[in-house]
Amino acid sequence: MAKYRMVRINFWMNPIVGEEMTADEKLFYIYLLTNQCTTQIGIYRILKKQIAVDLGFSLEYIESLMERFFLHHKLIRYNSETREIAIKNWGIEILSRGGKPVLDCIYSELKEVMDTTLISYVLEFIQKQEIRSLYEAFCEPENMYSDKEGSYERDTNIHTYEDVDDTPVSHNTIRGQEEKEKEKQKQQQKALNPNIENNSELDYQRKNQKTNHVKAIIEFWDNNGFGLSNVNAKEQLLSWLDDSNFLQPENVVLKALAIACSNNKRKLNYVVGILKNWENESLLTVEEIDSFQENQKSNPKYKQSTHLVPSGRDIPCGVDLDLTAGEEK
């Protein structure tokens, strides 16, 4: 089948898209719905690095976008082990047509999904019953196949297929055993460490806070003329969030950017120079920086340096200075 994706025009009427998403998030969402790795089922394998290359963003920024789409917008799920991503609204945004060719394609692609929980996730917003039936069958693989070798049983409402071999049986059986083993390991971890859920919540809060810091700095950079396409400079500046001694790295970086703007020096080197000076002076918070600058302004030496100093030598008394000497007449 030809590979193309048709997005409905009411995509832009979605309140999440129209009111909550930033410009980068809208681009990211459209990319997830239409990129070259997409399938008919809304579940496909893709590497985060590939997304970063295609969109021209850093890998760290892509990870922050995926985290926001998972935790805040609740529009995707991503299995980092199988590298599979699932689009929650695929059934609304893209999947609308039926017919045997489409169903054949859906069936063959559902067989390839490694994390079957993603199938249940996409199923919720699929409207056509004949397509829903296919998804439902793969959500419960143990009910799809009978104990008789070579036979294939499903409900009468499900679209039937001819010449189905035994390969999917073993594939789904192994996959089901792997899922049970993973769940068992999770239960054992919870028993050994009762605070594991609390720790996960703390990790989420930290990651979410860092995401907000990154977003604030990038927005300031982009909105104040530092260079929208200068990705390398942004990445170097963001490294100060993790690799500096500042106690309030986000606020300190934003202050350095503001100073660069006020001096009309919108260059990475200038901002980094400011940050290095503060770090060398052990000024690790915005309050310490403000206090240091106030003290400098009240220092007489600082005031003296702001006055113009005359250059050259005074003219001795009694000397008649001819200002026209040397000019041609």
**94-103 pLDDT tens trace:** 766 667 888 8
What fold, for 205-304? Arc Repressor Mutant, subunit A (1.10.10)
**Rg (the chain; Cα; Å):** 31
> Which residues sit opposite 85 in a β-bridge?
44, 78
In whole angstroms, give the CA distance from residue 261 to residue 268: 11
Model confidence over 116-145: pLDDT tens digits?
A: 999 999 998 888 888 888 899 888 544 333
H-helix segments, the chain: 15, 23-34, 48-55, 59-71, 90-93, 100-111, 117-123, 129-139, 167-192, 196-223, 231-238, 249-262, 268-280, 286-298, 300-305
What local confidence, expressed as pLDDT, does residue 178 receive?
A: 63
Q: What is the pTM of this model?
A: 0.44
Q: What is the pLDDT of residues 83-92, one digit of tens each?
A: 999 999 888 8
Residue spans of the domains in the chain: they are: 9-188, 205-304
Rounded to 5°, angle at Cα 238 from 234 and 242: 160
Nearest C-alpha neighbor of 155 from the set 134, 128, 139: 134
Top mean pLDDT of 83-87, 127-131, 207-211, 278-282 is at 83-87
pLDDT, one tens digit per residue, over 41-80 is: 999 999 999 999 999 999 999 999 999 999 999 999 999 9
Q: Is 36 buried (19+), middle (13-18) or exposed (0-12) by CB count in 10 A? A: exposed
